[in-house]
Amino acid sequence: MPYDGLEVDMLSVGNADCILVTNWNASKATRVLIDGANKSGAEVLKNFLKKNQITWLDAVVCTHPHDDHAAGLIELLKDKSIGIASAYMHIPHWHADVPSIKNTLSKIKNSAEAENIRKSLATVEELYSAFTARNIPITEPFSGTQIQFLTVAGPSKEYYEELVMSFGDSESIVSLDTQDSLHKIWALMHDKATEELDTELPPNPQTTPENNSSAILGTIRDGRKYLFTADAGVPALQKASEAYDLTKCHWMQIPHHGSRRNINPALINLFSPKNAWASAEGSKKHPRRAVVNAFKQVSATVGSTHYPVSSNLWISTGTVPARTNYGPLVPLYEADTLSKKSSDVSSLVWNSALLRNSR
């Protein structure tokens, strides 16, 4: 029987993103890599590709230039045994006066946000050089762009340029630093309280312009909708949902490793995913229990690459090649119940090399 389906591999790389999406058509595989994790995560990616005998990627997408998404791509590009047909990344230098932005950033002292923007701009330059050195054509992933079988739902070019301009807005940067400090104080107080029943999420949480510039992608296969959100925040996701029908997802990536600063109840109700996964290390912040519980309230099966042990996650629809050493996904917070059963059952579920959600 010829393969004819879609599969998503979310690799376990801690608080970083690395997702391989494969579309099968008449047994021909078209593969799109979305982000490459951080520098150390590149080895996880390369080992995964080698184990699955993958030597060709039809497209590589850098959703945004934070190191936990882009640094691993820079490392991957050093391995010329992996062929890459095309690249997708945003180039702020094509939309703003970056030297002027850097000059403004240099004048803002003791600013974590200014330092993050400086690092992002440097990462863009390094990744751009790595792609061009291998003669891989680069396209910016703005709303409406087709990346093989995936469609970019956001950001629009106009929204991206608005975000890039804010990179050099000193008042905006100072405001973000203040918000971050207040959030850390809130988190310190909140973490001392039990979160077992916590489902409260702020209606309008704030994240950084770099996160909101994330490329948001989606696809529909056999009537099932898949949504890839990277680190997009509420305004970015709202704009994408206004441009595209993102309701009733079969599967979606929980944005920003499950942070409570990137999603709100209205969007969760809009997406109403059957399956929602986070790429996370399993700290109190990533994924935040309130976020997990909010997704559970819309009857989503919630998984994370850290739970119950660090494992790559895989979901498929249609007919795709069988995987060995995969077991059923253990939804978040259900392993405690499983651990009370026989040790044989726990071993079967927890010691699987990879976990699969067959739903």
Residue in the block written with tokens 């090399």? 353
294, two tokens: 């909010």
Strands 224-228 and 216-221: antiparallel
* Residue 304 burial (10 A CB sphere; 0-12, 13-18, 19+): buried
Cα–Cα dist 228/251, whole Å: 9
| Residue ranges with strand state E in the chain | 4-10, 19-25, 28-34, 56-57, 59-61, 83-84, 87-88, 138-139, 146-147, 150-154, 216-221, 224-228, 251-253, 275-278, 301-304, 312-319, 326-328, 354-357
16, two tokens: 């970083």
Query: What is the per-residue pLDDT for 197?
Result: 45
308: CATH = 3.60.15.10
Domains in the chain: how many in total? 1
Other C-beta atoms closer than 10 Å to the C-beta of 284 total 11
Query: What is the per-residue pLDDT for 157?
Result: 98
Q: What is the largest CA-CA distance in the chain?
A: 63
84, two tokens: 């890459």
Question: Any bridge partners for residue 138, and if so which?
Answer: 87
Q: Is 25 helix (H, G, I), strand (E, B) or coil?
A: strand
Strands 216-221 and 83-84: unpaired
- Split the chain (359 residues) into runs of 10 and give each run's mean pLDDT: 94 98 97 98 97 97 98 97 98 95 87 89 97 98 98 98 86 68 57 53 88 98 98 98 98 96 96 98 90 96 96 97 91 70 33 36
Q: Would you list the DSSP string of 188-226?
A: HHHTTS--TT-----SS----HHHHT--EEEEEETTEEE
Model's pTM, two decimal places?
Answer: 0.90
Query: What is the per-residue pLDDT for 249?
Result: 98
Cα–Cα dist 53/37, whole Å: 20
Residue range(s) defining the domain that contains residue 196: 4-357
Question: Which secondary-structure segment (H or E) carries 236?
Answer: helix 234-243
The answer to whether 163 and 212 have CB atoms below 8 angstroms apart is yes
